[in-house]
A and B are shown apart, each in its own frame.
Chain A
Amino acid sequence: DAGITQSPRYKITETGRQVTLMCHQTWSHSYMFWYRQDLGHGLRLIYYSAAADITDKGEVPDGYVVSRSKTENFPLTLESATRSQTSVYFCASSESTFVRVTEAFFGQGTRLTVV
């Protein structure tokens, strides 16, 4: 199906474990983003990518790692999960005009609980 899909939708993990959240888009959008949503903080940008093999830190990158070997995939890894990383994670993709990024299209989110 066309669009942007995240997996898993729900995940419970233990403190200290590594966990990877997957994101796949079928539009061939050049830009991809990872956000986390927490009550009172809105959506905060974790990492973003302008193209395959190009990634950059957002507002809250500590404790996360990303890679983008293919345009359509943008996995997010929590190297050693902490309780403060309990959140809802959203992946998004976007195209750009000549000068700036246009609207983002969002996946359905992954609800991660770290116990």
Chain B
Amino acid sequence: AQSVTQLDSQVPVFEEAPVELRCNYSSSVSVYLFWYVQYPNQGLQLLLKYLSGSTLVKSINGFEAEFNKSQTSFHLRKPSVHISDTAEYFCAVGGDDKIIFGKGTRLHILP
């Protein structure tokens, strides 16, 4: 069985400050890991993914996440956030035949 824990339901951060959104997973098999973003009143879009290879993966808009197998974590980071990053972020784990999502973290950018 797979599960995902996102430790923070909301994260407030000032514009241009760094941010980290935490994600831990559990699985009895090796997995793929994903971060999705949902902007207000929209569907979900893939932000980045870890399938294999380098444990540090990056998105085109400055986010990065690092797969840490020993800590079963896949935390999302950005060195400097912008108001346009206001959204809900979901961590997800892909196993043999399904993808399980965490409860999401709302990122609030403060001016």
Which residues of A are in contact with B by a Cβ distance under 8 Å?
Answer: 31, 33, 35, 40-45, 48, 50, 56, 58-59, 90, 92, 94, 96-97, 99-109
Q: 1/0 contact trace for B89-102 toward A, CB 8 Å?
A: 01010111111111
Min Cβ gap B43→A in Å is: 5
Interface 9-mer from B14-22, B44-52, B64-72, B73-81: B44-52
Interchain CB contact under 8 A, B46 and A101: no
Interchain CB contact under 8 A, A42 and B103: yes
Residues from chain B with Cβ under 8 Å of A97 in the complex = 51
Interchain CB contact under 8 A, B90 and A101: no
* Nearest B residue (CB) for A4: B43
Chain B binding surface, main DSSP class: loop
Residues of B within 8 Å of A, CB-based: how many?
27
Chain A binding surface, main DSSP class: strand
Interchain CB contact under 8 A, B94 and A101: yes
| A42, A58, A102 — most chain B CB neighbours (10 Å) | A42
Residues from chain A with Cβ under 8 Å of B25 in the complex = none
